[in-house]
């Protein structure tokens, strides 16, 4: 069934041939337009196989796919994916032309960091600042389409460390190539190279994808832009949707000017503006329009809506970050208690992750469920990366980084000295670490005792390889974690129990993947894991408050939004004060934050904040001053001191904060007690039941502990 579209949306969706630019404001229904336009292509007789749709996240790709399935049964034949997934697919098929084998590994940021640290040590570089700069430098070059050779020729003298950076970049790229591995930026850069160096391959994909659609075009970098331009060069059927006002990824190479470049490169492009907002109230849009209107060099557009006026934007000035968090908790508790909202309707958005700690503590203290985005991702946890590394080395025997992770995990008596000697043996003989492991008996400098352990480990990997070829993926992974003793729990500590539970969750993730992809193998699973993001795992059915950076919340919407930490130096961030381009991006970031809200918007700040080791007075964000005319004036508050000497505000007849969760008393432990754990540090007991206690720790958040074995001390 066709979607109901407004006049501008319908006009854009009906434009099927040639280049098209859609300038789509926040909440203007761009996904509906993209979906309807693709469905219209199929209805007009276009082969679905030739349709390519690029989205910003896997979650967005899945949502578009579901919408298209409802619109046409041909959706399964289309390619709907992120740019990284599309490039990975192309390189699996044709990366051999660049010297890569099809089973290449995709290195995470953590993997790349480990490679760089080892490289710095070998090169004799002892410069922490350079080590921090190196990954950003390498990434910037790749995202700009600059090879190491081009850097040496044109950019070597651009910085004092140019020579060192060139050597680091060259060696880093060499290490990855020898390991048959790519980082995330390589996925893009190598497709860019492939299309430039092998015209016949480009022609193949031009024929394959004769209708190209790209969402969030303002977030593309130079290499992405060039890939899309090359794909569309022959047929020119390219449909891009973007909003320069929502370009917030300049720090990682995104260039909002790509929208202007598109107008230059495709001067005959049809241009449509989507300005009707379906998400927010008029009061919220008034504030958003005012904020973004102060940016120069933008496509002129003004969001409007037929939605209700809504309530005025609310601001709140707290004495401290603790009171700011207490106020947010109070408002959420109040609105939920009235029955109008559930916890999943709320988001607390911040400019920097560091502001989340006090909010997490406050949510835990009052039993409010929450989820943090941008925190420590599940697949980045040590035990999960260790487990995945076994799969990586089985899939790609050249993946030295994977072997380094598991050669003594679990501990099997292979020390650092043996590993270093094995590494030298591999280097001298120009072979992979795995091949060196198999030939270790020939390595003169490795001791006889160490050779026995290496031989046993090589045998273990060979046996796992045999098992992987004889079993379905899900059954094999379950067998592998037992066979390798990864699940062994030597000590019944909370940390060990959590480690084992995380490995079990990894096994469940594999089983879930196999249900949706019954024919898939190790390569396909590893790729799906590598290209996941926090947003892909956001589940609307999870009844919890979302706590996120504004960057992480891009593309989402919530009924009620709190934008916190609105102080100059935090939002906007301090480095933007003297840089016009940076300030413009901060303003776009604020615009994105405001336009996440549907019904209610709260803007909060603290008069003083503990920063960089001391408490400092703060100054209101300029964004607060800019929206004063759209804000409900703050009223005098009735304040009462809490037990910690902070303040809890009771305003506008709000319900008092509810007390922590109650539970039965067991022995000497009871709800509300402050305790200390030998590993987790200080915390407060939230609940006691059936011999277990829920404890909110300052450092690590909520943990459920067995009172029989937990090393808890009452404070």
**Annotated active-site positions, please?**
30-31, 215-216, 246, 596
CB 77 within 8 A of CB 237: no
- Tokens for 142, please give them: 């790749």
Measuring CA to CA, which residue among 195, 183, 253 is closest to residue 220? Answer: 253
CB 26 within 8 A of CB 277: yes
DSSP 570: B
Report the SS3 class of residue 508.
Answer: helix
Helix (H, G, I), strand (E, B) or coil at 315: strand
The CA-CA-CA angle for residues 154, 159, 161, to 5°, reads 110
3-class DSSP state of 250: helix
DSSP 668-696: TB-TT-EEEETTTEEEEEEEEETTEEEEE
**CA atoms of 407 and 410, how far apart (whole Å):** 8
Which residue matches tokens 């504030």? 287
> What is the C-alpha to C-alpha distance for residues 712 and 715, in angstroms, rounded to an integer?
9
Does an H or E element contain 427, and which? Answer: helix 416-429
From the list 55, 102, 89, the residue with the least C-alpha distance to 239 is: 55
Strands lying side by side in the sheet with 631-632: 370-373, 545-549, 346-350, 558-563, 597-606, 313-318, 631-632
Start-to-end CA span in the chain (Å) = 64
Where b means 16+ CB within 10 Å and e means fewer, 661-681 reads bebeeeeebebebebebeebe
H/E stretch holding 546: strand 545-549
Contact at 8 Å (CB) between 526 and 105?
Answer: yes
Q: With contact defined as beta carbons under 8 Å apart, do 401 and 183 qualify? A: no
Report the distance separating Cα 592 and Cα 260, nearest Å: 21
- Dihedral (CA of 92, 98, 103, 109) sign: negative
User: Residue 646, Cβ neighbours under 10 Å: how many?
Assistant: 16
3 state SS of 332: helix
Of 520, 497, 493, 494, the residue nearest 509 (C-alpha): 520
Taking the C-alpha atoms of residue 40 and residue 46, their distance in angstroms, rounded to an integer, is 9
3-state secondary structure (DSSP) of residue 704: strand
Tell me how far apart the alpha carbons of residues 223 and 219 are, in angstroms, rounded to a whole number: 12
Strands (E), 359-499: 370-373
For residues 623 and 315, is the Cβ–Cβ distance under 8 A?
A: no
Bridge-based pairing state of the strands 545-549 and 674-677: unpaired
DSSP 267-303: TT-EEEEE-B-SSS-HHHHHHHHHHHHT-SSS-----
Q: In degrees rounded to 5, what are phi and psi of residue 228?
A: -65, -40
C-alpha distance from residue 345 to each of 246, 279, 367, 543, 562 (Å)? 22, 13, 17, 8, 11
From residue 158, how far is each of 105, 145, 161, 162 by CA, in Å?
32, 17, 9, 6
Q: What is the rounded CA–CA span in Å between residue 132 and residue 28?
A: 40
What distance in Å separates the CA atoms of residue 39 and residue 63, rounded to the nearest whole number?
A: 14
């Amino acid at each position: 069934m066709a979607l109901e579209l407004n006049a501008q949306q319908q006009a854009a969706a009906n434009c099927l041939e040639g280049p098209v630019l859609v300038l789509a404001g926040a909440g203007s229904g761009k996904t509906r337009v993209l979906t309807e336009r693709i469905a219209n292509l199929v209805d007009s007789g276009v082969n679905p196989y030739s349709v390519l749709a690029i989205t910003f996240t896997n979650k967005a790709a899945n949502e578009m796919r579901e919408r298209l399935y409802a619109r046409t049964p041909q959706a399964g034949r289309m390619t709907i994916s992120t740019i990284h997934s599309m490039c990975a697919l192309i390189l699996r098929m044709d990366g051999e032309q660049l010297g890569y084998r099809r089973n290449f590994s995709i290195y995470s940021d953590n993997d790349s960091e480990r490679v760089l640290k080892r490289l710095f040590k070998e090169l004799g570089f002892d410069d922490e600042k350079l080590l921090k700069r190196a990954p950003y430098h390498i990434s910037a070059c790749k995202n700009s389409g600059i090879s190491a050779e081009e850097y040496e020729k044109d950019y070597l003298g651009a910085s004092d460390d140019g020579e060192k950076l060139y050597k680091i970049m060259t060696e880093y790229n060499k290490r990855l190539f020898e390991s048959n591995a790519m980082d995330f930026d390589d996925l893009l850069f190598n497709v860019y190279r492939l299309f430039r160096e092998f015209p016949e391959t480009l022609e193949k994909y031009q024929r394959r994808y004769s209708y190209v659609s790209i969402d969030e075009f303002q977030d593309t970098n130079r290499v992405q832009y060039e890939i899309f331009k090359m794909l569309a060069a022959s047929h020119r059927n390219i449909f891009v949707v973007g909003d320069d006002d929502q370009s917030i990824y300049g720090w990682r190479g995104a260039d909002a000017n790509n929208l202007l470049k598109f107008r230059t490169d495709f001067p005959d492009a049809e241009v449509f503006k989507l300005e009707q907002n379906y998400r927010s109230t008029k009061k919220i849009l008034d504030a958003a329009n005012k904020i973004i209107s102060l940016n120069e060099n933008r496509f002129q557009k003004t969001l409007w809506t037929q939605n209700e006026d809504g309530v005025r934007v609310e601001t709140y000035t707290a004495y401290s970050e603790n009171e700011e968090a207490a106020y947010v908790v109070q408002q959420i508790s109040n609105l939920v208690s009235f029955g109008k909202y559930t916890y999943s309707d709320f988001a607390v958005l911040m400019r920097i992750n560091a502001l989340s700690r006090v909010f997490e503590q406050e949510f835990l203290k009052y039993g409010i469920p929450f989820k943090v985005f941008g925190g420590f991702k599940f697949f980045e946890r040590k035990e999960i990366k260790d487990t995945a590394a076994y799969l990586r080395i089985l899939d790609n025997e050249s993946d030295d980084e994977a072997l380094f992770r598991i050669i003594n995990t679990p501990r099997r008596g292979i020390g650092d000295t043996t590993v270093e000697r094995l590494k030298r043996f591999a280097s001298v003989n120009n072979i992979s670490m795995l091949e060196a492991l198999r030939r270790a008996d020939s390595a003169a400098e490795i001791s006889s005792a160490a050779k026995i352990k290496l031989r046993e480990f090589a045998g273990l990997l060979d046996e796992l390889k045999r098992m992987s070829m004889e079993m379905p993926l899900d059954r094999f992974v379950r067998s592998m974690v037992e066979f390798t003793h990864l699940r062994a729990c030597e000590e019944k500590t909370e940390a060990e129990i959590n480690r084992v539970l995380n490995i079990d969750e990894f096994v469940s993730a594999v089983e879930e993947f196999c249900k949706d992809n019954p024919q898939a193998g190790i390569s396909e699973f590893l790729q799906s894991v590598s290209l996941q993001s926090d947003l892909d795992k956001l589940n609307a059915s999870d009844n919890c408050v979302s706590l996120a950076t504004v960057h992480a919340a891009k593309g989402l919407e919530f009924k009620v939004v709190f934008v916190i930490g609105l102080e100059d130096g935090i939002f906007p961030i301090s480095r933007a004060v003297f840089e016009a381009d940076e300030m413009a991006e901060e303003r776009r970031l604020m615009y994105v934050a405001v336009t996440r809200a549907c019904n209610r918007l709260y803007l909060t700040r603290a008069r003083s904040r503990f920063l960089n080791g001391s408490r400092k007075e703060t100054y209101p964000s300029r964004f607060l001053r800019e929206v004063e005319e759209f804000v409900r004036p703050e009223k005098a508050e009735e304040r009462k001191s809490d037990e910690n000497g902070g303040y809890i505000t009771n305003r506008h007849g709000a319900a008092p904060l509810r007390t922590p969760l109650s539970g039965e008393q067991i022995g000497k432990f009871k709800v509300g007690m402050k305790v200390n754990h030998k590993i987790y540090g200080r915390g407060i007991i939230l609940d006691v039941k059936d011999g277990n206690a829920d404890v909110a720790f300052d450092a690590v958040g909520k943990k459920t502990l067995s009172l029989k074995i937990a090393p808890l001390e009452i404070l």
